[in-house]
Amino acid sequence: MASEGTVVTVTKKGQATIPKKLRERYGIKKKALVVGTNEGILLRPVPDPSEERGSLKELFKGKSARKLIEEARKEEAMREKRLLHRYSK
């Protein structure tokens, strides 16, 4: 597969916009995993947990929205740590 290049501007805060064409091609939505490699920086899409599960309405009975958000944030943080660990080897 031929690689394609696009020049993007990096802000003072280190932010750069990933071009829409590339976000769509590689499925990058709200988050991307940034990995440093010998060749440079690699971005990997991070799947959205809500797209991975389907309907979980029955599992949430009896839990408040606050509790669900708290659990989801903890789970997401743990998942990000696992991804960082996996790709930083």
Total number of residues shown for the chain: 89
The rounded distance, in Å, linking the Cα atoms of 59 and 38 is 44
Structural domain for 54, as ranges: 20-87
Residue 40 lies in a domain: yes
Q: What is the pLDDT of residues 4-31, one digit of tens each?
A: 778 999 999 999 999 999 999 988 988 8
The answer to whether position 11 is within a domain reads no
The residues with which 36 forms a beta bridge, in sequence order, are 41
Residue 36 forms part of a structural domain: yes
**81 within domain boundaries:** yes
Q: What is the pTM of this model?
A: 0.52
> In 14-78, at which residue ranges do the beta strands (DSSP E only) sit?
32-36, 41-45
Please report whether residue 5 resides in a domain: no
Question: Among all chains, which residue has been given the structure tokens 């389907």?
Answer: 54
In a domain, 14, yes or no: no
Rounded to the nearest integer, the mean pLDDT of the chain is 83
Please state, in angstroms and rounded to a whole number, the distance separating the CA atoms of residues 89 and 86: 6
